[in-house]
Amino acid sequence: MKEEPKKYILPIPKKQKLELAEHYLEHPEKLEELKRKDETLYNIIRNYINYYQKQKARKEVRKKVMIKEET
């Protein structure tokens, strides 16, 4: 009997994705464990983490621009 592939169509809200990314950034050992267990889900979480880090960097740039405009 053929094993069915796992399906990862997860309509997760953006806020929840960012919380998930933040959680795995705080606990890298859990991320490594996930990589061993399930490569596909690991890749999805890595994408969330990359997105989270980009958003964080954008916020920092906006803050710096706002400070420069005020002075």
Tens digit of pLDDT for each residue in 16-67? 878 888 888 999 999 899 889 988 888 888 998 898 899 889 999 988 888 8
* Range(s) of the domain holding residue 43: 14-70
Decide if pLDDT at 1 tops 60.
Answer: no
Q: What is the mean pLDDT of residues 3-18?
A: 70
8 domain-assigned: no
36 domain-assigned: yes
What's the CA angle centered on 46, arms 40 and 50, to 5 degrees?
150
What's the confidence (pLDDT) of residue 12?
Answer: 75
How many structural domains comprise the chain? 1
What's the CA angle centered on 36, arms 34 and 42, to 5 degrees?
45
Residue 41 — φ and ψ, nearest 5°? -65, -35
Query: Can you give the pTM of this predicted structure?
Result: 0.65
60 domain-assigned: yes
Tens digit of pLDDT for each residue in 37-49? 988 888 888 998 8
- How many angstroms separate the CA atoms of 17 and 28, rounded? 16
29 domain-assigned: yes
